[in-house]
Amino acid sequence: MLSLGYALGSVLLAIVVLRLGATLSLRRRRKGLPYPPGPKGKPIIGNALDIPITFQWLKATEWRKTYGDIVYLDALGSRLLFLNSYEAAVDLMERRSTIYSGRPVLQMLNKLQNWEWSLSLMPYGDRWRKHTQVFHKFMDTGAVDQYRDMQTHEAIKLLGKFLESPQHFYEDIRTAIGATVMMVSYGHEVADRNDEFIELAETSMNMIKKIVMPGAFLVDIIPALKYIPAWFPGAGFQKVAEEGRKLSNDLQSRPYEAAKAQIKAGTAHNSITAKLLDDLMGKNITDIDESFIQRIAAVVYIAGADTSVAVLLTFIVAMLKNPEVQRRAQEELDRVVGSDRLPTFEDKKHLPYINAIMLECLRWMPVAPLGAPRTVTEDDVYNGYFIPKDTIIIMNAWSMFRDENLYHDPESFKPERYLPGNGRNVEKDPSTILFGFGRRRCPGRHFALNSIYITIACILSAFRISNPVDPTGKEVEEEVEYEAGLVFHPVEFKCSIKPRSEKAAELVNQAVDFHSHA
């Protein structure tokens, strides 16, 4: 107990010394300018107790009413700036993107577990630019059209699963999106819900979720602790670090090696891995190696699946809560597509209401209410306020999506807000907010939106989504709760997913049969 008390005292002393040094340095650099407004902190710990463990976006939105569009906090020496308005986000992340494109470094996640290969965590600089340039070759607006057949194929397979076992919709949506990503990245065909690579990705995401919980590891506050050996008392975090390093390595290497084996055997499908390896072997590109190809494929593998799944689950929730929206969408589908075939990408331009539903799913319950945090890489002044170098910049998308200046009646699910002719101006496309601002805007957004569109269109064309029924056949309104993690998503819930008609069921069976032999 004495040694533990001594260690705790040493930690507190280190925090005091670090904060004192930082305070003196900042005082010289501020030149009398004030920090942005925010809640007053306590001695030593600052605002550490003001920041909730979960649903931080709700508190930040509440602070906006008191302090304004930007809110500044200092928690144990970590400086945070919440951007609560679209205007502030554009001013800093778009117009000053050269200095607002950094990423905060979490010692456990980035250094000890080695997740820094991920494009979303990679520091801003030449290495990030090189990876982004190659990524864009496969994921920019024009390039993603080549994946439409794969996305349609998986959407139709999902319809078949809904016919067989609609009670497993939650798991089957996750599998369908994961299967699309696996095919695009590695040419790997997912056979069932228990695919080893889908499970590897989920295990990895669960590990990352545990790591990024605020205050989870003291090493993120005092980086020098990372040098403590695993055998030292109190260094249990090193075991977690070792587990994470293995997952990080497996996620890059295992599906990649499987894809290489298929290429060697001549059984490989087209994929990003196959294309890059072909370019490498043919010397079409000379500035990358196999480890680079591993990272690019793994970025696609892990980056988009979780967010697209969460959006589609929110779509199911929205249809449960808003049956009139579902009816209107199906009227549009019946008018444009008819009942003799399923929707395609070619129908998209003729289905404005389906597109509007997709957009409203992005806004109503955003999968990333706080976006991906940035850091400012040098001291800055904004509207007369001093923003110190290394301040963590947090984009509060939730606050923007609840801003009545941007969206009328923001709590309601209203797809028509994105359509002309309703007596109001068309409201802001939420994808311009949700996928981020400036140079670090999500590069996979076009691919994700395509997957979401075709899945929503196909589901609504063939199925009716409603509340579950009790033993007497009466609908029971399902109360759905949301969970905050790496993405904001509904926890598992029940619903009824049934074919709209016998003809719709037969159409699904025919489509599944055709695609299984294609």
Band the pLDDT of 179: cuts 50, 70, 90: very high
Residues paired with residue 75 on neighbouring β-strands, in sequence order? 46, 78
Band the pLDDT of 208: cuts 50, 70, 90: confident
Q: Residue 498 class from Cβ within 10 Å (0-12 exposed, 13-18 middle, 19+ buried)?
A: middle
156 with 458: CB under 8 angstroms? yes
Mean pLDDT of 2-21: 42
pLDDT score for 10: 41
Distance, CA of 272 to CA of 268 (rounded, Å): 11
* 361 is annotated as contributing to ligand binding: no
276 with 184: CB under 8 angstroms? no
For 191, the token pair is 């056979």
Q: Which residue has the higher pLDDT, 68 or 211?
A: 68
Identify which of 66-80, 217-231, 271-285 has the greatest average pLDDT. Answer: 66-80
Sequence-distant (6+) residues with CB within 8 A of 76 are 15, 19, 44, 45, 46, 48, 221
Which architecture characterizes domain 33-516 according to CATH?
Answer: Orthogonal Bundle (1.10)
> CA-based Rg of the chain, rounded to a whole angstrom?
24
Mean pLDDT of 446-455: 96
pLDDT score for 473: 80
- Lowest mean pLDDT of 162-176, 374-388, 421-435, name the range: 421-435
For the stretch 467-515, pLDDT in tens is 998 888 888 888 999 998 778 999 999 999 999 999 999 999 999 998 8
pLDDT score for 225: 87
The share of the chain scoring above pLDDT 70, in percent, equals 92
For the stretch 332-341, pLDDT in tens is 999 999 999 9
pLDDT score for 458: 98
Structural domain spans, the chain: 33-516
Sequence-distant (6+) residues with CB within 8 A of 207 are 113, 243, 244, 247
Report phi then psi at 439, rounded to 5: -70, -20
For the stretch 350-386, pLDDT in tens is 999 999 999 999 999 999 999 889 999 999 999 999 9
Q: Which residue has the higher pLDDT, 234 or 129?
A: 129
pLDDT score for 467: 93
For the stretch 35-49, pLDDT in tens is 999 999 999 889 989
Distance, CA of 322 to CA of 320 (rounded, Å): 6
For the stretch 288-321, pLDDT in tens is 889 999 999 998 887 766 889 999 999 999 999 9
